[in-house]
């Protein structure tokens, strides 16, 4: 399942309105730790994933001005667990301004040899729709193995009145150990990659309108566009356009901080196997600790 970026969406909700400009410096804040967890599922493609993010933030500015108030350095660790793989990573993030940050990270991946992960293919032009994946699994082509992802991920974000906008991209470099095949199916990106080394971009752009803004009960809705493209395989490019809804379930519930529900329905604008079809994703995200 292509991931629903819960941590990124939660971050954009905290952007201060650009119209508010305070002149006095803010008191220096101590480094803070944040723990976020999420559980998401999707159909077309079918998937299930649990995510955990632990992040430590150091402020770079004492200013209350919106463009500087959230300037920071951050380091963190992540974990993405699904029935097909486990991805554990580490990252460094620099936000020189509240409206822009860039993250650099590495992420080893262990594929369990279940479902469609790490199935082998002869080339980019091989069919990898659901029927082709099922056929390769039936012939015993599923194997366990290791891969690695390195990435650079810039994000631009802004809030004006009740409108929130966010543009994000992951520029990724992949390498995998896949005996017996030069190419493999990567389920998180739902595409074929060259096991000897490959690169791709995954981009997401959203504009959300704030319907409600009570503490713990924010409601937002708006369009979201995503793009997935392996640079050497333009014929496998994927694009979809959908509607995202975010609903806050309260400031604290069952020991979780600000549990938030995310739901997205989308239409495949371009896809080698799912063009013209509809997919859906749902997730719940929340903070842990104090």
Average pLDDT over residues 211-230: 93
Q: What is the pLDDT of residues 165-208, one digit of tens each?
A: 999 999 999 999 988 899 999 999 999 999 999 999 999 999 99
Q: Per-residue confidence at 290, pLDDT binned at 50, 70, 90?
A: low
pLDDT of residue 114: 86
Q: What is the pLDDT of residues 53-108, one digit of tens each?
A: 999 999 998 888 889 989 999 999 999 999 999 999 999 999 999 999 999 999 99
Of 265, 262, 263, 266, nearest in space to 238 by CA: 266
Q: Report the alpha-carbon angle 102-34-186, nearest 5.
A: 55
Write the CA distances from 88 to 49, 76, 110, integer angstroms. Answer: 13, 11, 9
Mean residue pLDDT of the chain comes to: 88
pLDDT above 50 for 21: no
Question: Would the pTM count as exceeding 0.85?
Answer: yes
Identify the structural domains of the chain with CATH numbers, from first to last. Answer: 6-288 (2.40.160.40)
Q: Per-residue confidence at 16, pLDDT binned at 50, 70, 90?
A: very low
Q: What is the pLDDT of residues 132-156, one digit of tens each?
A: 999 998 888 888 999 999 999 999 9
DSSP string, 71-137: -EEEEEEEEEE-SSEEEEEEEEEEEEETTEEEEEEEEEEEEES-TTTT-EESSTTS--SHHHHHHHH
pLDDT above 90 for 32: no
CA distance 268 to 190: 13
Average pLDDT over residues 222-245: 97
CA distance 186 to 105: 18
Q: Per-residue confidence at 5, pLDDT binned at 50, 70, 90?
A: low
């Amino acid at each position: 399942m292509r991931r629903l970026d819960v941590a990124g969406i939660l971050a954009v909700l905290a952007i201060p309105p650009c119209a508010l400009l305070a002149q006095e410096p803010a008191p220096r804040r101590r480094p803070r730790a944040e723990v976020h967890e999420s559980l998401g599922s999707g159909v077309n493609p079918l998937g299930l994933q649990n995510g955990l993010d632990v992040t430590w933030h150091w402020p770079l500015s004492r200013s209350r001005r919106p463009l500087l108030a959230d300037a920071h350095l951050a380091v963190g660790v992540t974990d993405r667990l699904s029935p097909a793989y486990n991805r554990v990573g580490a990252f460094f993030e620099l936000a020189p301004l509240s409206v822009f940050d860039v993250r650099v990270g590495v992420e080893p991946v262990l594929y369990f040899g279940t479902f469609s992960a790490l199935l082998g293919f002869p080339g980019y032009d091989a069919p990898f729709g659901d029927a082709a994946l099922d056929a390769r699994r039936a012939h015993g082509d599923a194997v366990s193995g290791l891969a690695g992802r390195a990435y650079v991920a810039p994000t631009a974000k802004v809030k004006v009145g009740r409108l929130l906008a966010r543009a994000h991209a992951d520029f990724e470099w992949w390498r995998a150990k896949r005996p017996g095949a030069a190419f493999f199916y990567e389920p998180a990106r739902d595409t074929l990659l060259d096991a000897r080394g490959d690169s791709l971009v995954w981009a997401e752009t959203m504009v959300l309108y704030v319907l409600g803004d009570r503490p713990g009960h924010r409601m937002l809705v708006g369009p979201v566009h995503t793009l997935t493209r392996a640079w050497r395989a333009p014929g496998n490019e994927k694009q979809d356009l959908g509607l995202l809804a975010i609903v806050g379930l309260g400031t604290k519930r069952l020991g979780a901080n600000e549990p938030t529900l995310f739901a997205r329905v989308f239409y495949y604008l371009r896809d080698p196997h799912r063009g013209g079809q509809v997919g859906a994703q749902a997730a719940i995200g929340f903070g842990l600790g104090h």
